[in-house]
Structure 1
Amino acid sequence: MSNSTNQLLKETPNDHPIIDVIKNRWSPRAFTDMPVSQTDLQSLFEAGRWAASSNNFQPWNFVWGIKGSETYDRIMKHLAEFNQSWAKNAPVLMLGVIDTKTPDGKDNYHALHDLGQFSANMALQAHSMGIAVHQMAGVDFEASKKEFEFPEQFHVATAIAVGYYSNDLEQLPDDLQSEETKKRERKKQNEFLFNGSYIHREEL
């Protein structure tokens, strides 16, 4: 199901060729009021399910709620006030949670990386369906972990808003409307690539 006609296409000044699903995906704060069906949500979760995972431990866990449900409201109350100001427009809210221990009880230092792989898969699948995903760091990690009764070894790593892209910016506070149309920015490759040591690096 696609609703891409409502998407504002941001300028993405890529320096090298990339596929459209990566070039055109971004994280909006404006959403239409069109519900995301459970069938479509399951496609997003299925895409995440097949993400790469260290030792195949799959340490990711998700709490999800549809707008109007108790779970949605329970997630919303733990978002930072700034995020609440726009995330209230999203038809779905999620929490991404990691198990910080391996099955044999050791520290899983790759769990957060694996959750990121899941979330990236999910975001690209969503974009291919005209659905947007916006991940948030602004969530009360400890309070939301307690709210949803996760054991001590678990960590709530991110909150996620999901919904169809919208070009209706009036739903946002004035100071956020310009953020929806500004050009995307990323560091240049030579700022983070090291063909050798960090200090004595060679540029591509």
Structure 2
Amino acid sequence: MTPLISKAATTAEPLHPLLAERWSPRALDPRHDLAVEQLTAVLEAARWAPSASNTQPWRFAVALRGRAEFAAVLDALQPGNQAWAHGASALIIAAAETVGPDGTSRPWAVYDTGQAVAHLSVQAQHEGLAVHQMGGFHRDRVAALLAAPGVVTPLVVLAVGRRDDAVQLAEPFASRETAVRDRLPLEQLLLPFGPSTPAPTS
């Protein structure tokens, strides 16, 4: 088996390895099948994410490779994602319920669903799995695949599987797979407070 490429993040302070070593590969083992326990674990991690007023607005639809649902979700991806996502063990649709059962708007539903997906991705790293999140898909087609049309909004499709660096990817994906990871410097992410910020009262 080909040794996996190390792409651990370079950070100002040490991070937990599950965070530092997580990234989004496209080279996935087409022979790998998700164990029920692994799938349950990553979904449980998402289930226990925080949400506004504990509304838990996230919803997931799981399509396992080899099943009709997988082929349908794969077909609804943009061509650039179809080129490699067929190797995933599962394609998981993450959707948000932006309106509650009583008709009340849930303004934080998209944010909360993002938190649930983040929890899922870290648990997947712990399980020895990779997650690649995709925004490139036909939303109307993906929404039409779900049994709750109009109730939830598909936000992202997750390709979940086991990394296999021996998989031959076409360009430009092959170069991206081995490229050095980078992020904006931390100081560029910190916003200063403006001049109108009230002075301390004591």
Please, what TM-score do these two structures have when normalized by structure 2?
Answer: 0.90
Sort the Cα spacing of 1:144 and 1:195 in 2 relative to 1 into closer, same or farther, 3 A: same
Unpaired runs of 5+ residues, structure 2, are: 198-202
Retained in 2: the 8 A contact 1:6–1:165?
no
Q: CA deviation at 1:13?
A: 2.0
* 11, 14, 20: which one aligns with 1:23: 20
Aligned residue number for residue 175 of structure 1: 172
What are the residue-to-residue correspondences of 1:139-178 with 2, within 5 Å?
Answer: 139-170=137-168, 172-178=169-175
| Alpha carbons 1:169, 1:177 under 8 Å: kept | no
How far residue 198 of structure 1 moved from its aligned partner, in angstroms, is 9.5
The answer (yes or no) to whether the contact 2:8–2:22 under 8 Å persists in 1 is no
Q: 1:38 deviation in Å? A: 1.6
**Distance in 2 between residues matched to 1:74 and 1:108, nearest whole Å:** 29
Q: Which of residues 105, 117, 121 is equivalent to 1:119?
A: 117
In structure 2, what is the Cα distance between the partners aligned to 1:198 and 1:50?
39
Residue type of the alignment partner of 2:90:
V
- Count of residues paired in the alignment: 196
CA RMSD of aligned residues (A): 2.0
Q: 1:137-185, CA deviations, whole angstroms, 9 ceiling, x for partnerless residues?
A: 0011112112223232421100010001111141x11321111111111
Aligned-pair distance for 1:6? Answer: 5.0
Runs (4 or more) in structure 1 with deviation over 4 Å come to none
Whether the 8 Å contact between 2:8 and 2:20 is mirrored in structure 1 is no
Q: Percentage identity across aligned positions?
A: 30
- Name the CA shift for 1:145/1:28 in 2 (closer, same or farther; >3 Å): same
SS of alignment partner, residue 172 of structure 2: helix
Could you tell me which runs of 5 or more consecutive residues in structure 1 were left unpaired when the two chains were aligned: none
Asked if structure 2 preserves the Cα contact closer than 8 Å seen for 1:21 and 1:128, the reply is: yes
For the residue of structure 2 that corresponds to 1:149, the secondary structure is coil
Q: Is 1:192 aligned to residue 189 of structure 2?
A: yes
State which structure, 1 or 2, has the greater radius of gyration over its C-alpha atoms.
Answer: 2
Q: Corresponding residue for 1:133?
A: 131
Deviations 1:116-136 (A, max 9, x none): 111111110110111001100
Residue range with higher mean Cα deviation, 47-56 or 104-113: 104-113
